[in-house]
Amino acid sequence: MQYKRTPDTRFDALEDYPFAPHYLHVDDTEGGQLRMHYLDEGPADGAIVLLLHGQPSWSYLYRYMIGPLVDAGCRVIAPDLIGFGRSDKPTQRQDYTYARHVAWMSDWLIQMNLSTVTVFMQDWGSLIGLRLVAAFPERFARVVLANGGLPAGPIPQRFAPALRAAYQELPVIAASELDARFRDTSGLPGFLYWRKFAAESAEIARPGMFMDAIGNATPLTVAARAAFDAPFPDESFIAGVRQFPTLVPLFADEPEVAQNAAAWQVLEQFDKPFLLAFADDDPVSEPLQAPFLERVPGCKGMPHRTISPAGHFLQQDQPAQCVQAILDVMAV
């Protein structure tokens, strides 16, 4: 598998990100290896908190949460998914599959030998992270789910042909229009516009700009925008970011629907603390909360909360509230 590695100089002196890099290698599933980056802060014997990011961000998204969690005595670990941050980036979109992302993170989790983990997951961090919880329930003590979910082909198959045909004709809209598309429930699902945007728009190569357009209650600083852009010097580094929306199993015949359905069966038996902390203003994930409350036993009696004011990237908007959600679930 061919990959690129972002030059270290791209990460020099990032705003509010004083953390030392750590690396290990995972099986690329083709006989080679990929280097995965992660942060590991706090006491070695502290209670483990695992922070999983989504698309198109990286561990920089957690920069304001790490310090307070360490101050609370936690060992805080925040990996960069393959294709993101300081981790290696396969260069072809077809190199990225949902199954491979789960395999890469499973390999990393086993090598790290993590157990009694409290995990905070958002966006694609939840699509992968919940699969990890289902595959290794004995390693996870608690879950905080924030603006995420585990779709298993939610769009009825009878609608699939028409929606797929409509998708082919969709325009590639500007990033500034995406938020409105997600909020408009009278037409095609906003996620299809996002899928097309990520696959074809030149703007996706600048995650900082995109995050401001759809995901934050408050604008990013110029320095923060540059930091979110740092992993991607040019188009050749961006294949993973482009591919992620295509991998979300919206239709019943897409890959990993059966695997996600099987994971749901495990989650339906997961009775450890499972807390929901969704933002008050995220049109992307708001509908995803109800199935967890209905189906996951660990959600019963938990102090679920709404993070406010916050958008899709609630770690950026309200890091203190996110930290408190983690500390609260650890106190249950």
The 10s digit of each residue's pLDDT in 236-262 is 999 999 999 999 999 999 999 999 999
Assign 49 to helix, strand or coil.
strand
Give strand ranges (E) for the chain.
3-4, 22-27, 33-41, 47-52, 74-79, 89-90, 117-122, 140-146, 274-279, 305-307
Q: 162 Cβ partners below 8 Å, 6+ apart?
A: none
Give 284-332 as a DSSP string. Answer: TTGGGSHHHHHH-GGGTT---EEESS--S-HHHH-HHHHHHHHHHHHH-
Residue 72: count other Cβ atoms within 10 Å of its Cβ.
16
**Which helix (H) or strand (E) element contains residue 228?**
helix 222-229
Whether 330 contacts 47, CB under 8 Å: yes
**Residue 215 confidence class, pLDDT cut points 50, 70, 90:** low
**pLDDT given for residue 218 in this prediction:** 83
**pLDDT given for residue 185 in this prediction:** 84
Q: 272 Cβ partners below 8 Å, 6+ apart?
A: 137, 140, 141, 142, 143, 298
Query: Rounded to an integer, what distance in angstroms lies between the CA atom of residue 276 and that of residue 293?
Result: 8
Could you give the residue numbers annotated as active site? 123, 282, 312
Average of per-residue pLDDT values in the chain: 95
DSSP β-ladder status, 274-279 and 47-52 = unpaired
| Predicted confidence (pLDDT) per residue in 91-147, tens digit | 999 999 999 999 999 999 999 999 999 999 999 999 999 999 999 999 999 999 999
**pLDDT given for residue 187 in this prediction:** 84
**pLDDT given for residue 212 in this prediction:** 81
Sheet strand arrangement including 33-41: 22-27, 33-41, 74-79, 47-52, 117-122, 140-146, 274-279, 305-307
Whether 36 contacts 105, CB under 8 Å: no
- Measure Cα distances from 253 to 31, 152, 198, 258 in Å: 29, 10, 21, 9
**Residue 314 confidence class, pLDDT cut points 50, 70, 90:** very high
Query: Rounded to an integer, what distance in angstroms lies between the CA atom of residue 130 and that of residue 285?
Result: 15
Which domains are seen in the chain, by residue range? 3-153+252-331 (3.40.50.1820), 157-247 (no CATH)
**pLDDT given for residue 122 in this prediction:** 98
Task: Report the pLDDT averaged over residues 287-314.
Answer: 96
Whether 136 contacts 108, CB under 8 Å: no
**Residue 181 confidence class, pLDDT cut points 50, 70, 90:** very high
Is the full-model pTM beyond 0.75? yes
